[in-house]
Amino acid sequence: MSHTPTEMMTVAAARLLTNDEVCFVGIGAPSAACNLARLTHAPKITLIYESGTLSTRPSVLPLSIGDGELCDTALTTVSVPEMFRYWLQGGRITIGFLGGAQIDRFANLNTTVVGPYDAPKVRLPGGGGAPEIASNCGQIFITMAMGTRAFVEKLPFITSFGHGTGKGDREKLGVRTKGPTKVITDLCVMEPDSETSELTVVSLHPGVTREQVAAGCAWPLRFAETVSETPPPTAQELDVLRDLHARTRKAHGVAA
């Protein structure tokens, strides 16, 4: 069954989740991956969104954290201060799922500006709760499509701290969580190297070459000693994901 690169990215990200996770979900690709996991192999996963919705089970993907679908399908909704102080900063969330406009080799994320901060070429949406999520969740999974405008040699601004300039930087700042442990793209899966924390390709998606991946990255990308092939999406995974997107398009008034 044929699939798109974006579908492969979503499926690969969803497979990382289990029933035991308490997951802080970002809007967009992270939300699609988390809800695909919930609708397939991890029906008991606890999904939390920034607006304060706990154990939400949306039937369609939300447009934003303020989408009524999240509150309507949640076990309960708490205030944003409670969400961040008690749930997030209290260490009760095992995984944070984030995306970003730009990422560097140590999995630091930029969602603030492109270009100089005081005179940017592009003003991005900003951090929202992402900086706190990146610091306080047990570990972070990042989903981003590859390209040299997104995977950059040096970030103009670090919005969400990954591994700083290398191994040990989180500990120097007193951050006790693991930080980014997986970066799932439309071409491959990366993990931080155990010695340096630099992102390293550990898995290529079906039909993708090392040259394609390297061309989508602005720094000299490292590959693990053994690089596996990501298992392709199953028919069930694609059916569930496509049905979820079809329902979402219909609910938001977009032709399927």
Task: Give tens-digit pLDDT for 36-64.
Answer: 999 999 999 999 999 999 999 999 999 99
For residue 35 the two structure tokens come to 């809800």
Q: Which of the following is catalytic: 21, 50, 198, 237?
A: 50
Task: Give tens-digit pLDDT for 13-27.
Answer: 999 999 999 999 988
Q: What is the span of the domain harbouring residue 132?
A: 5-251
Q: Looking at residue 225, which CATH number applies to its domain?
A: 3.40.1080.10
Contact 38, 97 (CB under 8 A): no
| Low-confidence residues of the chain: pLDDT under 50 | 255-256
* Domain contains 256: no
Count: domains in the chain: 1
Active site residue 211: no
* Domain contains 224: yes
* Domain contains 180: yes
What pLDDT does 254 receive?
64
